[in-house]
Amino acid sequence: MGKEVNGVSRSRFEMFTNSDEAVINKKLPKELLLRIFSFLDVVTLCRCAQVSRSWNVLALDGSNWQRIDLFDFQRDIEGRVVENISKRCGGFLRKLSLRGCLGVGDTALRTFAQNCRNIELLSLNGCTKITDSTCNSLSKFCPKLKHLDLASCTSITNLSLKALSEGCPLLEQLNISWCDQVTKDGIQALVRSCPGLKGLFLKGCTQLEDEALKHIGAHCPELVTLNLQTCSQITDEGLITICRGCHRLQSLCVSGCANITDAILHALGQNCPRLRILEVARCSQLTDVGFTTLARNCHELEKMDLEECVQITDGTLIQLSIHCPRLQVLSLSHCELITDDGIRHLGSGPCAHDRLEVIELDNCPLITDASLEHLKSCHSLDRIELYDCQQITRAGIKRLRTHLPNIKVHAYFAPVTPPPSVGGSRQRFCRCCILL
């Protein structure tokens, strides 16, 4: 093998001969051509590899394959494709997404781990064939791994988390959503050995209880993002530990965790001033009292999902309008106590003019066209949801669009059922009624 130039051996450059008549190959140095190829995506590289012998050398050089996402390219790939990629890329590869590649299993990923020991970001989201064996391989060969996505890999157990804790101490982000075999024992092993964790996605890990959260709160001071959606066994006790131990928390999702109360909102307000995203949909025990404490202390809030927080009233909107000037997305769907007055305060608050982009008001029966008038000065408003708001009219939406012509309005108006035909004995129904 000859001396290397920018990762390509000189002997490989010798394959560019005078017989290659393409002007670009004659005019540009091969090092510059290689640099140009480095900006191409997977599909384009594969096409370029078929143009000529010299372009095949450039296109398939490992240095051009540092970041690969096969999701938009080919999802029905077999394991041998991953093995071939790993052999070609070797130590160059830093980021690989095999999201949705159902045919990839443990054997291919072991070969991958052996060849690509500098991998930092790996997505195996939806690769349902993989088991704990893959995590053992990653632990053994990939110590630089920082981001790992195992969402919907339902064969993953605590053994995977224990393996990762032993071999991947630099892990910063882990997604094991819907890996419902994981329990507190796996979480405990993971967080004790990976103190730099910044993102944990545990959505649908239904066996997790407060004990798991206590381990996270005690060992993850760098945590920024935590998703516990539908972890229905957790309560205030575990989440308060998170708040007290993770002061850098910016994003928290506990939607579907029906046991939590205002105590969580108080704990967030007292301990997590950097909070930007809060998703508490279907947490029906939360009230204006808790959201008042939250709003008065967490001024950086940008996105809030309060869908089916059925106890909140205009009081919550008043507090948000006063204390949360950065609010961009707000869901109030099925919050049936919200009225036009609450929307009036929101529309006149500091977030309204330049920040507020999305507001969802589905199934808010007290909302009328007056609310649309209050929102017409929200110049950044991009989308509004109004399904089943029965007091909203087409005329009100039309008036809103005169002020915000580009806004997306999602609403539904039931068709009027035609009256019975005169003189007829059979009832006439509109098509919708027939379907029902």
Please give the pLDDT value at position 191: 98
Which secondary-structure segment (H or E) carries 85?
helix 79-89
Query: Mean pLDDT for the chain?
Result: 89
Query: Which CATH code is given to the segment(s) 24-64?
Result: 1.20.1280
| Nearest alpha-carbon partner for 162 in 184, 129, 146 | 184
Widest distance between CA atoms in the chain: 97
Give me the count of residues in the chain: 436
Give the CA distances from residue 321 to residues 265, 291, 347, in Å, rounded to whole numbers and listed in that order: 17, 12, 8
Asked whether residue 432 carries a pLDDT value surpassing 50, the answer given is no
Asked whether residue 198 carries a pLDDT value surpassing 90, the answer given is yes
The residue among 69 and 386 whose pLDDT is bigger is 386
Please give the pLDDT value at position 33: 80
Asked whether residue 23 carries a pLDDT value surpassing 70, the answer given is no
Q: Which two tokens stand for residue 37?
A: 């190829």
Q: Are strands 358-360 and 329-331 parallel, antiparallel or unpaired?
A: parallel
Please give the pLDDT value at position 354: 87
CATH topology assigned to domain 268-413: 3.80.10
Which of 59-73, 76-90, 122-136, 176-190 shows the lowest per-residue confidence on average (mean pLDDT)? 59-73
Question: What residues does CATH 3.80.10.10 cover in the chain?
Answer: 268-413
Please give the pLDDT value at position 426: 46
CA distance 332 to 363: 9
Give the CA distances from residue 87 to residues 111, 199, 358, in Å, rounded to whole numbers and listed in that order: 8, 30, 46
Question: What residues does CATH 1.20.1280 cover in the chain?
Answer: 24-64
Asked whether residue 359 carries a pLDDT value surpassing 60, the answer given is yes
